[in-house]
A = this chain, B = another copy of it.
Amino acid sequence: MLTLYYAPHTISLATHILLEEVGADYATVRIDFGKTEQRSPKYLEINPKGRMPALVADRGILTETPAMLVYVAQSFPKANLALIDDPFAFAQVQAFNAYLCSHLHVAHAHRMRGYRWVDADDAHSIAAMQRKVPESVGESFALIEREMLKGPWVMGERYTICDPYLFTLAQWLELDGVDPARIPKVVDHRRRMSERATVKKAIAEELA
């Protein structure tokens, strides 16, 4: 049994979708960012980083989306969604997801979470970071469009753990000020993802 701690409109959706894709038996616990529950002593016991998401498994608690996605895929090997038995293909899957967590998601975070990298009361720098987001997130999506997204899925014909992860980040691109017309493959991928029953179910639960 797996329990996903999630918050709506966060990266937890990627793992939530994957749990649906593999048909996992799982529960969810919603964390309310409006009440800063991610910083509550109770949640910090689950995840001392105070971030979303966390996945409680039989043997302990896991964090970090790239790790959680592989863990879920490896726990449901029949679906083979991480291509883990092919070291080179798996490395490509991992490289894509590492790019999302260390570049794209980080660029995005400078819009709402600039206080991580400058003093929170430095309005000039906070605003400067926000102004750069359309360019930095846009360039990151442009690189994905040009060099990484093989189509129809990220890794080509095979649907993998890269797909729900990209989809989740792509939900925010308009809010980040990125022009969707510049990245038609990413937007088409997002549309096809949004039509999957698994995606619809995970989103419906999070927004209920």
How many interface residues does A have (CB within 8 Å)?
A: 50
Over the window 120-136 of chain A, the binary record of Cβ atoms lying under 8 Å from chain B Cβ atoms (1 yes, 0 no) is 00101100110110001
A34 to chain B, nearest CB (A): 24
| Binding stretch for chain B, among A95-103, A179-187, A188-196 | A95-103
A50 to chain B, nearest CB (A): 10
Name the one of B84, B102, B118 contacting A102, with C-beta atoms under 8 angstroms.
B102
A194 to chain B, nearest CB (A): 25
- Report whether over half of chain A's contact residues are helix, strand or loop; otherwise say mixed: helix
Chain A interfacial positions (CB closer than 8 Å to B)? 48-49, 57, 59-60, 62-68, 70-71, 74-75, 84, 87-88, 90-95, 97-99, 101-103, 105-107, 110, 116-119, 122, 124-125, 128-129, 131-132, 136, 143, 146-147
| 18 cross-chain CB contacts under 8 A | A59-B88, A62-B88, A62-B91, A62-B95, A64-B95, A65-B98, A66-B98, A67-B92, A67-B95, A70-B90, A74-B91, A75-B87, A84-B84, A101-B101, A118-B129, A124-B125, A125-B125, A125-B129
